[in-house]
Amino acid sequence: MTETLVCGSCGASVPSSHRFCGQCGSPMQGTQPRTAMQTAFFGAIQSDARARLVLIRGEGLDGVTFQLTGRHVAGRSTGSILFPDDGYLSPRHAEFFFEDERLYVQDASSLNGVFVRLRAPALLADGEVFLAGEELLRVQFGGLAGPAITGEDGHFFASPMPAVQSRITQVLEGGRPGLTVVAHAGSLVIGRERADLEFPNDRFISGRHCRVDFSPAGATVTDLGSRNGTFVRIRERQALADGDHIFLGRQLLRVELSA
Amino acid sequence: MIICPNCSRENEDHYKFCLGCGTEISRSDALPDVPPVATALPQVVPQIVPKAMPEAVPQAVPKAMPEAMPQQAVPEAVAVPARATPLPVATALPAATPAPPPALLPAASTPPPSLLPASASDAAPPTMDEDSLAGDEPMPDDLFSHGSMDAPPRSAPPERVESDLAFEGTVDAESLKEAPPVEPTRVARVVRVDDTRGEPPTERVPEPFASADSTSVSVDPAFDELHASMVSAVREAAGRRCRACGNAVPAGFKFCGVCGSRFELATPSVAPSARVRLTLVHPDGSEGESFELPAGECTVGRAQGLPLFVDDPFLAPRHATFHNGPGRVTVRDEGSLNGVFIRLRAEVELVHRDLFRVGQQLLRFEDLRHVRPVVPAATDGTLAFGSPTRGAWGRLTSLVAVDTPAQAWTLAGPQTLIGRERGEIRFPGDGFVSGSHCVISTRQGRYFLADQGSTNGTYLRLKGEQAITDDDLLLLGQQLFRVTSSPAD
């Protein structure tokens, strides 16, 4: 194995000859070689591990691996799975635990939530969010009637009311709304090009990334074979399978279950 | 060439409406130079007229009009040239006066015999002269009322006016000789003259006078040239000055050559004690009823204020107040639900939550820095996660109800074009939106909105009290009004 270091600041893999991390610029001085670190880690808890969380960085570079043995809290300042530099993580963000021989993840009332990559189409309720590429999108079904006009004010001269009120709104950093597109035809495609919601500058979104179909039951999100997947925010807790991907804040983790 | 005061498009001189935006083109804008030209020249005339007339009149009149009474004709004849004194054409006479009369007399006397049989045509030549005289009177309004109403058979009235200004009187003289007056308008006039009985001899007189003019003009081309240059100088001085630096802007230029500012025809704010009218503009662009704003304040609303304001459910009972004050006319929204919108004539600055109308859309501009998050803020220092803004600075929403956006767009980059077919923000289903309609741009942390010469315009909702000027278009309720102002008498 070639000598590779792991940046102590951001977890990126750095060739041992480099003095600074190429990802975050932190000095590499005093950093333990990755091989040594992994060996130590495995040696301590390998026997008990039933699952692992592998941190995925950038273009698929694997980073730190967390061994899951029992109940683990992930967050910015609390728990054993810590990402102190990720401001999008709540201090106590999520919990991983085993129940009936299955691994679960549960949102610990975090601000930004826990997102799990879709394996099959998922039904979303009004106001729920999902991730495609770097875009955080919220589905909405109604609420366009506006406040009631009282008294003698008369009618309000506004844009034509769409026949369908179902729509998708992009949520920008800071929680502000961005692009909103009404699903005039009942469904919307999200992607980089030839889509209803186009994000030409998103490097992580596929040409046609996912589709949302609105029905009286809700909004069904279907991944269209995107490279990076579509992630849906979990409501409370969700069982995890081998190969699942999870977003916590900006951290993308892959679940590996021991057979 | 007429530059549209609204969209700066160049239009042919005889157009009544701008090809670019449909705005009615004011004729007085088109020929700001007419009065100065005429007034600059009249002193020469009195010397000439008396000399030319006494000889011509007595001889011409009796021959042409045997039945007419010479006694009446002579004094009246003197009066006619007096009326013609402002004629610029007459200034060319001094050199020519001695020679022309004899040469002209036969010419003057030839038409009458052929004309005499038809009693109606007796007075026709005089009326033609009167036409040319009246046409030379230095009131632009006159010129155009003649062009549009009294002389429809003329193919291009404005051109004729131009030729008068350039002293090419020959055109008129030839029409006198070669084309005996048979135009319907003249007949109509003759009838009128006949009704007054006893006038014909008077009317006869100016013909030799006018012919003398034209002959003399062709005699002295240098004089023509001099005056042509005077005309163009006056033309440049009047009106076409850069509003930024004050330098003259040659006709046809859209930008000041000295400072580069965009040249716009002066749209002076309403003059002191102006008469201000609101004219209803129908959806097809035609104008309807018109009412004058009273002096002082006038609050209008649903079936209130002026008769123009009908029972429109989109008007508040008290909708807006006009203030027709000295030197300034303003309008302010009285906190109505729908507000007052004004059609953009130049770029305006946008601030957070400004509303504007494009086609059938009610759009709200939002400064992204002030957009309220949809996620409640965390108390533990956690940042709200979301899509990268990628340099976006604004947001545009289409409101379908009070404070209720449906469609929304983020605004990024130096400018965003809004249009039906082109642009970053498109309304393909809205036929009232032009192909490219308007542009939102940002410079130095400020935001601007400008119409792109759209057919139906971009309307900005007024905030507070705003001055309105001549030719502004206001949208109140479902109705559009044109503001016109003219100086009080």
When pLDDT is cut at 50, 70 and 90, the band that residue B392 belongs to is very high
Question: For B104-159, what is each residue's pLDDT tens digit?
Answer: 444 433 444 334 334 433 433 433 444 333 334 333 333 333 323 333 333 333 33
- Shortest Cα distance from B384 to chain A (angstroms)? 5
- Does B301 contact A at CB distance below 8 Å? no
CA distance B4 to B25: 6
Q: Look at A172 and B386 and tell me if their CB atoms are within 8 Å.
A: yes
> Do the Cβ atoms of B374 and A175 come within 8 Å?
yes
SS3 A252: strand
Mutate one of B355, B366, B382, B416 to test the A interface: name it (highest A CB count within 10 A): B382
Sheet (strand A102-107) strand order? A81-82, A72-75, A94-99, A102-107, A237-240
Highest mean pLDDT pick, B16-30, B59-73, B213-227, B361-375: B361-375
B433 touches chain A (CB under 8 A): no
pLDDT, position A153:
67
The per-residue pLDDT for A151 is 65
Give B46 or B368, the one with higher predicted confidence.
B368
B368 contacts B377 by C-beta, under 8 angstroms? no
Residue with tokens 């021991």: A258
Most confident of B49-58, B68-77, B296-305, B365-374: B365-374
Please list every residue in chain B whose beta carbon sits closer than 8 Å to the beta carbon of residue A137: 387
* Residue B468 in this model has a pLDDT that exceeds 90: yes
Residue in chain B lying closest to A157 (CA): B338
pLDDT, position B231: 56
Q: What chain A residue is nearest to B385 in terms of C-alpha separation?
A: A173
Residues of B in contact with A249 (CB under 8 A): 385
Predicted pLDDT of residue B417: 97
- Smallest Cβ distance to A158: which of B315, B388, B399? B399
- Cross-chain CB nearest to A174 (options B363, B386, B398): B386
**In angstroms, how far apart are the furthest CA atoms of chain B?**
112
Per the model's pLDDT, the better-predicted residue between B470 and B230 turns out to be: B470
Residue of A nearest to B341 (CA): A157
Whether B372 sits inside 8 A of A176 (CB atoms) is yes
Contact B395 A160 (CB under 8 A): no
| pLDDT class of B221 with cuts at 50, 70, 90 | low
Nearest-Cα residue of chain B relative to residue A179: B409
Nearest to A156 among B338, B406, B407 (CB): B338
Q: Identify which of B360, B479, B461, B475 has the alpha carbon closest to the alpha carbon of residue B420.
A: B360
Contact B400 A171 (CB under 8 A): no
B374 interaction partners in chain A (CB closer than 8 Å):
138, 169, 171, 175-177
Would you call A159 and B360 a contact, using CB atoms and an 8 Å cutoff?
A: yes
Residue to substitute from A88, A161, A176, interface B, most B β-carbons within 10 A: A176
- Confidence (pLDDT) at B60: 39
The span from the CA of B233 to the CA of B67, in Å, is 49
The mean pLDDT of chain B is 66
Q: In this structure, is the dihedral angle defined by the CA atoms of residues B271, B275, B281 and B286, taken in order, positive or negative?
A: negative
According to the model, what pLDDT value does residue B156 have? 36
Per-residue DSSP letter, A46: G
Contacts of A184 (CB under 8 A, 6+ apart): A162, A163, A164
DSSP category for residue A37: H
- List chain A pLDDT tens, one digit each, 259 residues: 456 777 777 777 777 777 787 778 877 776 655 554 544 444 444 556 789 899 986 444 567 888 888 899 999 998 889 888 889 999 999 999 999 989 999 999 999 999 999 999 999 999 999 999 999 999 999 889 888 876 666 788 899 999 999 999 999 999 999 999 999 999 999 999 999 999 999 999 999 999 999 999 999 999 999 999 999 999 989 999 999 999 999 899 999 998 6
Q: pLDDT exceeding 90 applies to what percent of chain B?
A: 30
pTM, entire model: 0.59
Does residue B68 or residue B387 have the better pLDDT?
B387
Residue B305 pLDDT class (50, 70, 90 cuts):
confident
- CB spacing of B400 vs A176 below 8 angstroms: no
Residue B337 with chain A: CB contacts under 8 Å: 149, 153-156
> Does residue B449 have a pLDDT over 70?
yes
Distance CA B164, CA B138 (A): 11
Average pLDDT over residues B184-190: 35
pLDDT at B181: 42
What is the pLDDT, as a whole number, of residue B232? 59
- Tell me: pLDDT of B39 over 50: no
Q: What pLDDT is stored for residue B227 in this prediction?
A: 64
Main-chain dihedrals φ then ψ at residue A51, nearest 5 degrees: -155, 160
Least reliable range by pLDDT among A142-156, B77-91, B311-325, B355-369: B77-91
B261 pLDDT tier (thresholds 50, 70, 90)? confident
Instruction: Write the CA distances from B432 to A216, B436, B454, B466, integer angstroms.
Output: 33, 11, 9, 26
Residues of B within 8 A of A140 (CB-CB) are none
pLDDT at B211: 38
Please judge whether A91 and B400 are an interchain contact, meaning their C-beta atoms are less than 8 angstroms apart: no
CA distance A148 to A76: 44
Give the count of beta carbons closer than 10 Å to the beta carbon of residue B37: 21
Interface subset of B 350-369, CB within 8 angstroms of A: 360-363, 368
CA distances in angstroms from B335 to A116, A243, B355, B404, listed in the order given: 49, 60, 14, 18
Q: Taking CB atoms and an 8 Å limit, are A173 and B389 in contact across chains? A: yes
